Amino acid sequence: MLGFGDKAVELFRMINPIEHSRTKETALKYKVEPYVVAADIYGQGNLAGRGGWTWYTGSSSWMYEAGIHYILGLTIEKGYLSINPCIPSNWKEYKIHYKYGNSIYHIFVKNPQEKNTGVEKMTVNGEEILEKKIPLIQNGGINQIEIIM
C-alpha cells in the first residue's frame, strides 16, 4: 500500500508455501503441505523453517488479497474493474484473465519504464479509458484491456 513493489513481492515470496518446498531438503524441513498457507514458520533451534498451523482460518484469504489486490492491483468494486499495480520494477509485463459472468477480460499490463506503481494509460478494446476504471458488463464478449505503467 506504500508503493514499495520490490519489497511487497519479496515479503509475499517469504509467506508463499511453495517457496518452502522448492527442493527436497527444504520440503523435509518445512514438513507441512506446500499448497497451504502456514500461520507460523518456526525460527529457533531444530524447528527453524518448519511450518505450523496450516489450514488456519483467514491465512489463505489474506494471501490471495495481498497477491491479487495489492500486488497485481486487480480491484472489482461496485461493478467496475480497475488495475493499480504495485510490482517489482524488474517485472516487464504480466497478464490476468478475469471472467465476469459470461464475459472474459484479458488484462495485459506493460511496465516499459520499470516502475513500481502508477498507471499511465488504460485501453479497452483499443479505446482509451481516461478515468482508468471500466464498467463490467455481461455481454458474452471477450474484452482486451491494456495497461501501460
Per-residue pLDDT tens digits for 60-106:
788 889 999 999 999 999 999 999 999 999 999 999 999 999 999 99
**Could you tell me the domains of the chain?**
5-59 (no CATH), 77-148 (2.60.420.10)
User: Which amino acid is residue 79, in one-letter code?
Assistant: G
DSSP secondary structure, 95-131, as one string? EEEEEETTEEEEEEEE-TT--SB---EEEETTEE-TT
Confirm if 68 and 87 have CB atoms less than 8 A apart.
no
Q: Which pLDDT band holds residue 57 (cuts at 50, 70, 90)?
A: low
Among candidate residues 96, 99, 77, the one with its CA nearest the CA of residue 87? 96
For the chain, give the number of residues. Answer: 149
Bridging pattern class, strands 93-100 and 134-135: unpaired
Phi-psi region of 128 (alpha: psi -120 to 50; beta: other; left: phi over 0): beta
DSSP three-state, residue 12: helix
Tens digits of per-residue pLDDT, 11-42?
A: 999 888 888 888 999 889 999 888 888 888 88
